[in-house]
């Protein structure tokens, strides 16, 4: 699976855990809501600086963000 898709799915999962809308997440992360929508749908090749903003807005850290099975080479 494309890394952009994997990251988008992980963001969506964590966002829903917090009961946030895409718009609320975008506001928390200080990013455009269209951009967040495109990242979540795997359409954007996000940079690490913006990804960190999203991860912090999702109230987690980079280490935990990537602790999902889809980021392991066996998946």
Long-range contacts formed by 64-73: CB under 8 A, 24+ apart: 65/10, 65/14, 68/10, 68/13, 70/1, 70/6, 70/9, 70/10, 71/6, 71/10
* Residue 36 binding a second copy, by CB under 8 A: no
Piece of the chain touching a second copy by CB under 8 A; list 16-24, 27-35, 47-55: 47-55
* Residue 73 binding a second copy, by CB under 8 A: yes
Instruction: Considering the complex, state which of residue 34 and residue 45 has its C-beta at the smaller distance from a second copy.
Output: 45
The contact set with a second copy (CB under 8 A) reads 3-4, 7, 45-49, 51-52, 60-68, 71-73
């Amino acid at each position: 699976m494309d890394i952009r898709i994997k990251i988008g799915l992980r963001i969506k999962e964590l966002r829903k855990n917090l009961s946030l809308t895409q718009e609320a997440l975008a506001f928390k992360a200080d990013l455009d809501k269209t951009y967040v929508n495109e990242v979540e749908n795997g359409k954007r090749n996000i940079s690490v600086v913006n990804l960190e903003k999203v991860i912090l807005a999702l109230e987690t850290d980079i280490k935990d963000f990537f602790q999902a099975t889809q980021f392991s080479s066996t998946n």
